[in-house]
DNA sequence: GCGATTAAAGAACGTTCATTCTGTAATGAG
DNA sequence: CTCATTACAGAATGAACGTTCTTTAATCGC
């Protein structure tokens, strides 16, 4: 009979997610990783497919855990208020327990954006995960924009797909900004103003002659 | 009398800029670097302050050479057309000689954004260079927005500073996107639509009753 | 031509790293 | 208790890496 493992697989992946999120893939060495995870280095290779295999698992875990609330906003939201809420959450300091449990802006940024920059297309498997997430966020934003346009909360003269891409770029830009500890106050408000239908009509044009 | 050096300092820095832009700092090893630069490894340390010193020089060089046309648009531009031009240039495939001499979207992204993600605030000297650039771009965008608002090409109901931050985030997001080889068609058009003054007033509101 | 000075070429060094290996340990079946 | 199987702890391996060192070379002044 085999010796029982000492580690909890889900906990290992969760801790690994945090390590890779903070350090990136290359700068996260196996010694530090296995110590932080409470994992034997042999098990890293035998049960998790090595450092790269664990990294893939961590990416998937990040998508499941960290991005889920954002995706819910995109996929279940009704219109402009949800887009604004998305950027409100993305730009405000996190509180309490959980992956963003810090008192100030999370300098880790977004693990997906960090991975895009660090690894890009040099690892096809990683690239596929990143692409899948980006496609999903883009579709989510596009759907949200279309629903907002249908309900009148978002101006109807903008292309939903192009708008979705811009909003995705904005969120990825926020990740870069966070790595530098830069704050982006007023982003949600400016996004609201940019996407809202025209509300103010110049008085001279409203007056009857 | 000393032995004359074989390398051209400006060429070394220029080539180093391309290497770091493509590979990032850590993934760019000294062996490959010195071979690509035609530089002796002793000279790397003696005359350029080592790999890190050369990287700092490369960042400054990048700011001087690559970002200059963009900064000119921001600092000399008059209004919305120049913001749109900025994103037109940033999203179209580069042609001909020069740093972006490739036939398709540059997968290198922006060296500054890449550095922000890879190094962030862990190297204060690097962080200062990145901050300086970001501050300048933000000021440039803010000034451009204010000039556009003054001339009427940009809607007057948006905060210039918040708008500037959004546009900077967008450009950094473009860098992340480029690393994944993702295209962002229609960005310039959506930026134009979002920032232009209201042009269409619904007919029912114009008609007198 | 020699001497002093500094650069180039490439080796050497010490460190870091990912991955594999070895000895020990933990389990249940028999 | 023994055996078979697999995990753990930590060492070992081989490679990669940044930086320094050694030998040779290139210059100009004298």
pLDDT at A92: 77
pLDDT for residue B102 is more than 70: no
Per-residue confidence band for A209, with pLDDT thresholds at 50, 70 and 90: very low
User: Which alpha helices (DSSP H) does chain A contain, by range?
Assistant: 9-23, 30-37, 41-48, 50-65, 68-76, 80-91, 111-118, 124-151, 160-179, 187-195, 203-206
Task: Report the pLDDT averaged over residues A107-136.
Answer: 94
Global ipTM: 0.88
Neighboring chain B residues of A195 at a CB cutoff of 8 Å: 194
Q: Greatest CA span in chain B, whole angstroms?
A: 94
Mutate to test the interface with A, among B139, B158, B172 (most CBs of A within 10 A): B172
pLDDT at A82: 97
pLDDT at A102: 42
Tens-digit pLDDT profile for residues A49-77: 999 999 999 999 999 988 998 999 999 99
CB atoms within 10 A of CB B116: 29
Q: Which residue of A has its CA nearest to B132?
A: A180
pLDDT for residue B125 is more than 70: yes
pLDDT for residue A97 is more than 60: no
Residue A93, phi-psi category: left (phi > 0), alpha (psi -120 to 50), beta (remainder): beta
**A180 with B120: CB under 8 angstroms?**
yes
| Per-position b or e across A31-46, b if 16+ CB within 10 A of its CB | eebbeebebeeebbee
* Comparison of pLDDT for B96 and B32, the residue scoring more: B32
Q: Average model confidence (pLDDT) for chain A?
A: 89
d(CA A30, CA B77): 50
Tens-digit pLDDT profile for residues A149-203: 999 999 999 999 999 999 999 999 999 999 999 989 999 999 999 999 986 554 4
Who's near B39: CB < 8 A, 6+ residues apart?
B7, B12, B33, B48
* Nearest alpha-carbon partner for B173 in B123, B116, B122, B132: B116
Mutate to test the interface with B, among A180, A183, A208 (most CBs of B within 10 A): A180
Q: Angle at the Cα of A166 (from A165 to A170), degrees rounded to 5?
A: 115
d(CA A135, CA A131): 6
**What part of B 170-209 touches A (C-beta under 8 Å)?**
170-177, 179-182, 184-187, 189-191, 193-195, 198, 200-201, 205-206, 208-209
CB atoms within 10 A of CB A70: 17
d(CA A50, CA A18): 17
């Amino acid at each position: 009979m085999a010796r029982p493992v000492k580690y909890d697989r889900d906990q290992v992946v969760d801790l690994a997610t945090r390590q890779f999120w903070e350090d990136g893939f290359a700068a996260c060495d196996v010694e530090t990783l296995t110590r932080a995870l409470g994992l034997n280095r042999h098990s890293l290779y035998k049960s998790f497919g090595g450092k790269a295999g664990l990294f893939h698992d961590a990416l998937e875990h990040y998508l499941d855990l960290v991005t889920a609330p954002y995706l819910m906003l995109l996929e279940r939201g009704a219109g402009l208020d949800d887009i604004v809420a998305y950027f409100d959450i993305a730009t405000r300091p996190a509180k309490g327990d959980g992956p963003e449990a810090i008192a100030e802006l999370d300098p880790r940024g977004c693990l997906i954006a960090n991975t895009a920059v660090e690894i890009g297309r040099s690892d096809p498997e990683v690239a596929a995960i990143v692409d899948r997430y980006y496609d999903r966020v883009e579709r989510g934003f596009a759907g949200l924009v279309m629903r907002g346009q249908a309900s009148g909360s978002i101006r109807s003269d903008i292309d939903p797909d192009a708008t979705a891409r811009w909003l995705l770029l904005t969120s990825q830009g926020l990740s870069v900004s966070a790595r530098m500890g830069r704050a982006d106050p007023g982003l949600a408000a400016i996004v609201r103003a940019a996407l809202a239908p025209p509300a103010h009509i110049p008085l001279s044009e409203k007056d009857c002659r």
